[in-house]
């Protein structure tokens, strides 16, 4: 079954090197009960670790069931430890956060047979611990803990049982129980290799091997040994293949172990989550502010109108001043009719005439901006009143004295009273209020609600005394035709006003879509900036998670060694720690999402800021927290997966 030829193992280098095994050759047949004896430092434990695939020889040949061990990958060796071997350790090595039954089930996880829970119960019953199945290791005596370890070693029905000083930490009664169990197992056909330094324990074996200074000095057969007939071809095939499946059983167990590890250090885990919690909350709140500002900006942009061209007299190069004598173009109603002829490219046209005026209502008066507008202005500039109505075409043609007040003017003159139907004086002329314009908010330094709209004809001939239009607004049918329409209108006006030089010296045109793009770009940049600043706190939280995971790896080094001894592969260990890191960050992330939403609501009510929490922002924050967990958990997980099982088991 087992064949060792000239096995050597040296620890250390140079003068500090120690030869643990020196040309050791050994054969073990199936069904044998072998005791390996020797003083401390004789190499007996190293030999047992070599037999259990926990260590590799520096040279020599080790064949088991016909397979050369040196040719097997680490994953195949892990599979063989899980299916062919069972380990019983002197220190028991039970997981302290799991019950006796769950400790026995542990090897089943790495063999994909966790569903065989009855098998674990039967093994626990075979060592007389059925009533202690739900107890934690700290609630068990030394003898009971060792019997749990034996049940765990047998749960996968291994061919070989390796026991390293199984009675070393036990009293006489417990020692006798363990020996009785081992002898019973051997009588049922199990191959047992036992390491001990006590001669009376070794006497129970059928064969005693004595070691000294890394060599076998004697090999005595005390009574009948086993046979090698059990090593059939199917067992050899099993030894030559690795278990590669990773399914729901492993994932569920890793998830459960992750929650146990987190809850076993509640305060430390919560403090670690705080970094992620506040980071995600900051991301949610900052993105909500950005989205709210964007939505608010879009609402204000809509009040400017869509697909609009605004044409004003004067040079586009010298704003607020004429470029020279006769350089300011005076627009007329005939220009509006000419631009309308460009339909269907042009959807609507209206002219405006602006000025200031003194407004009086009873004992209240206010100086505000007066704007004469045409019939199409209401739709084009999103100014149709929510309370009251817009001007009719007849009122415009008759030069009626009717007015629509901005919200700020209403507040100054009327307070909370509805002004519709009331009469006010504009520059000492009586006007009837027929509506209240929609609120538009501030535009730069100017309050766009501090305005009164009156018919364009009334403004020009009754209030402002103008025979020309200050500006013309043109609504284009399709935003894709904006540039083409702009060029045609420019040529049309230049031709009508006999402008033979550069038209930009006489009038200029504003494209509202350009303003919209600029404002949209600004809000997007602001959102990205706020989100990036908040993301920095997430990265800081991720560093805290990495630090805690590194501490966790150090604390659980012996647990990692045990899992590897029971058949866990490197990727099993890595997956477990990655899941633990992601669980911690995701838990903090979910709490952070709730805090971020609450903060957004608080900012909206307390500070009056526009906030908007979207599903995409929540998904982004949750996804980012998972990514942080995976990124910052990767190094600790990799470090854990690369631990040498022997060094990990010996770690203090």
Of the candidates 353, 453, 455, which has an alpha carbon nearest to the alpha carbon of residue 410? 453
* Coil, helix or strand at residue 503: helix
- Reported as a pLDDT band with limits 50, 70 and 90, residue 412 is very high
Distant-in-sequence, close-in-space partners of 381: CB < 8 Å, separation ≥ 6: 303, 304, 305, 308, 373, 473
- C-beta neighbour count of 317 within 10 angstroms: 10
Q: How far is CA 424 from the centre of its chain?
A: 61
Of the candidates 75, 78, 80, which has an alpha carbon nearest to the alpha carbon of residue 64? 80
The vertex-567 CA angle with 141 and 259, nearest 5°, equals: 65
Given a contact cutoff of 8 angstroms between Cβ atoms, the answer to whether 359 and 452 are in contact is yes
Between 113 and 218, the higher pLDDT residue = 218
Indicate the helix (H) or strand (E) that contains 634: helix 615-641
Of the candidates 639, 494, 645, 484, which has an alpha carbon nearest to the alpha carbon of residue 560? 645
Task: Name the burial class of residue 15, with classes exposed (0-12), middle (13-18) and buried (19+) by CB atoms within 10 angstroms of its CB.
Answer: exposed
Confidence (pLDDT) at 324: 43
Q: Among 18-27, 204-213, 246-255, 379-388, whose mean pLDDT is lowest?
A: 246-255
Distant-in-sequence, close-in-space partners of 320: CB < 8 Å, separation ≥ 6: 314
Long-range contacts of residues 476-480, Cβ cutoff 8 Å, at least 24 apart: 476/307, 476/308, 476/309, 476/345, 476/346, 476/347, 477/307, 477/344, 477/345, 477/346, 477/347, 478/307, 478/345, 479/306, 479/307, 479/513
Q: List, as one string, the DSSP characters of 519-587.
A: HHHHHHHHHHHHHHHHHHHHHHHHHHHHHHHHHHHHHTHHHHHHHHHTT--HHHHHHHHHHHHHHHHHH
**Section 75-92 average pLDDT:** 86
Across the chain, mean pLDDT equals 83
**Section 48-71 average pLDDT:** 87
Residue 393, CB-side half-sphere exposure with 13 Å CA sphere:
2
Confidence (pLDDT) at 239: 46
Residues 153-192 pLDDT 10s = 888 888 899 998 888 777 888 888 888 888 888 888 889 9
Q: How far is CA 641 from the centre of its chain?
A: 23
Q: Tokens 């990692």, residue? A: 560
The tokens describing 155, both together, are 């749960």
Helical axes 266-304 vs 512-555, angle rounded to 10°: 180
Q: CATH says 2-246 is which class? A: alpha beta
Between 389 and 524, the higher pLDDT residue = 389
Distant-in-sequence, close-in-space partners of 264: CB < 8 Å, separation ≥ 6: 97
Confidence (pLDDT) at 224: 65
Helical axes 248-264 vs 100-109, angle rounded to 10°: 140
The tokens describing 453, both together, are 């709209």
Residues 295-311 pLDDT 10s = 776 666 655 556 788 88
Q: How far is CA 107 from the centre of its chain?
A: 32
Residue 532 dihedral angles phi and psi, to the nearest 5°: -65, -40
The tokens describing 262, both together, are 């987190």
Distance, in Å, from the CA atom of 105 to the CA atom of 126, rounded to the nearest integer, reads 14
Given a contact cutoff of 8 angstroms between Cβ atoms, the answer to whether 310 and 515 are in contact is no
Residue 67 has pLDDT above 50, yes or no: yes
Residue 285 has pLDDT above 70, yes or no: yes
The tokens describing 401, both together, are 């004295």
The tokens describing 14, both together, are 């140079």
Residue 487 has pLDDT above 50, yes or no: yes
Residue 17 has pLDDT above 70, yes or no: yes
- Reported as a pLDDT band with limits 50, 70 and 90, residue 418 is very high
Helical axes 266-304 vs 570-606, angle rounded to 10°: 50
Strand residues in 117-230 grouped as ranges (E): 160-164, 191-195, 207-212, 215-221
Between 419 and 534, the higher pLDDT residue = 419
Distance, in Å, from the CA atom of 566 to the CA atom of 288, rounded to the nearest integer, reads 50
* Coil, helix or strand at residue 183: helix
Count of positions (residues) in the chain: 652
Distant-in-sequence, close-in-space partners of 590: CB < 8 Å, separation ≥ 6: 622
Query: Residue 281 to residues 167, 187, 452, 589: CA-CA distances in angstroms?
Result: 55, 64, 45, 8
The tokens describing 49, both together, are 């670790």
* First CA to last CA distance, the chain: 35
Confidence (pLDDT) at 445: 65
Secondary structure letter of residue 116 according to DSSP: -
Residue 5 has pLDDT above 90, yes or no: yes
The vertex-497 CA angle with 496 and 502, nearest 5°, equals: 110
- Whether cis (ω within 30° of 0) applies to the bond prior to 628 is no
Residues 181-232 pLDDT 10s = 888 888 888 899 999 888 888 888 999 999 998 999 998 887 766 554 444 4
Distance, in Å, from the CA atom of 126 to the CA atom of 584, rounded to the nearest integer, reads 39
Parse the chain into domains and list their residue ranges: 2-246, 257-299+518-650, 330-498
The percent of residues in the chain predicted with pLDDT above 70, rounded, is 88
Strand residues in 207-246 grouped as ranges (E): 207-212, 215-221
Secondary structure letter of residue 510 according to DSSP: E
Residue 620 dihedral angles phi and psi, to the nearest 5°: -60, -45
Q: How far is CA 183 from the centre of its chain?
A: 54
């Amino acid at each position: 079954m087992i064949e060792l030829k000239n096995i050597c193992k040296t620890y250390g280098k140079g003068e500090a090197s120690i030869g643990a095994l020196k040309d050791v050759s050994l054969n073990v047949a199936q069904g044998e009960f072998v005791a390996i004896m020797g003083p401390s430092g004789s190499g007996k434990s190293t030999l047992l670790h070599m037999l259990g695939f926990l260590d590799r020889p520096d040279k020599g040949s080790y064949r088991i069931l016909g397979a050369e061990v040196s040719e097997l990958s680490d994953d195949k060796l892990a599979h063989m430890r899980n299916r062919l071997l069972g380990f019983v350790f002197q220190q028991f090595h039970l997981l302290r956060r799991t019950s006796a039954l769950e400790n026995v089930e542990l090897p089943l996880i790495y063999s994909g047979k966790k569903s065989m829970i009855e098998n674990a119960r039967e093994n626990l019953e075979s060592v007389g611990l059925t009533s202690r199945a739900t107890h934690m290791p700290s609630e068990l005596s030394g003898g009971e803990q060792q019997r749990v370890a034996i049940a765990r070693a047998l749960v996968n029905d291994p061919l070989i049982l390796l026991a390293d000083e199984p009675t070393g930490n036990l009293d006489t009664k417990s020692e006798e129980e363990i020996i009785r169990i081992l002898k019973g197992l051997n009588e049922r056909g199990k191959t047992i290799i036992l390491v001990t330094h006590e001669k009376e324990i070794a006497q129970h074996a059928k064969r005693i091997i004595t070691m000294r200074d890394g060599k076998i000095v004697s090999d005595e057969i005390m009574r009948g040994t086993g046979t090698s007939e059990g090593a059939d071809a199917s067992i050899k095939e099993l030894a030559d293949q690795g278990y590669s499946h990773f399914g729901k059983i492993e994932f569920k167990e890793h998830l459960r172990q992750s929650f146990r590890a987190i809850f076993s250090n509640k305060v430390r885990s919560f403090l670690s989550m705080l970094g992620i919690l506040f980071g995600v909350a900051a991301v949610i709140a900052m993105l909500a502010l950005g989205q709210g500002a964007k939505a608010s900006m879009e609402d204000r942009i809509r009040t400017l109108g869509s697909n609009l061209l605004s044409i004003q007299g004067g040079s586009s190069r010298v704003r607020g001043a004429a470029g020279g004598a006769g350089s300011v173009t005076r627009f007329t109603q005939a220009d509006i009719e000419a631009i309308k002829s460009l339909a269907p490219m042009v959807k609507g046209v209206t002219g405006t005439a602006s000025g200031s005026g003194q407004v009086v209502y009873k004992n209240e008066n206010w100086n505000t901006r007066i704007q004469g507008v045409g019939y199409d202005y209401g739709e084009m500039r999103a100014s149709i009143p929510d309370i009251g109505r817009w001007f009719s075409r007849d009122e415009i043609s008759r030069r009626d004295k009717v007015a629509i007040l901005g919200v700020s003017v209403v507040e100054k003159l009327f307070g909370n009273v509805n002004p519709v139907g009331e009469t006010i004086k504009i520059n000492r002329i009586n006007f009837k209020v027929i509506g209240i314009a929609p609120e538009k908010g501030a535009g730069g330094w100017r309050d766009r609600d501090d305005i009164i709209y009156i018919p364009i004809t009334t403004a020009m001939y009754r209030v402002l005394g103008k025979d020309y239009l200050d500006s013309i607004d043109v609504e284009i049918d399709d935003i894709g035709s904006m540039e083409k329409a702009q060029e045609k209108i420019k040529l049309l006006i230049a031709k009508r006003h006999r402008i033979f030089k550069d038209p930009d010296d006489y009038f200029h045109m504003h494209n509202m879509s350009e303003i919209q793009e600029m404002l949209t770009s600004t809000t997007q940049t602001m959102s990205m900036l706020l989100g990036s600043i908040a993301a920095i706190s997430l990265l800081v939280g991720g560093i805290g998670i990495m630090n805690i995971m590194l501490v966790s790896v150090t604390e659980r080094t012996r647990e990692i060694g045990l899992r590897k001894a029971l058949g866990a592969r490197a990727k099993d260990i890595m997956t477990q720690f990655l899941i633990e890191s992601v669980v911690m960050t995701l838990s903090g992330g979910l709490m952070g999402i709730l805090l971020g939403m609450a903060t957004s609501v608080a900012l909206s009510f307390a500070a009056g800021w526009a906030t908007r929490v979207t599903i995409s922002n929540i998904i982004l924050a949750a996804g980012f927290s998972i990514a942080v967990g995976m990124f910052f958990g990767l190094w600790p997980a990799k470090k854990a997966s690369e631990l040498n099982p022997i060094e990990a088991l010996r770690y203090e």
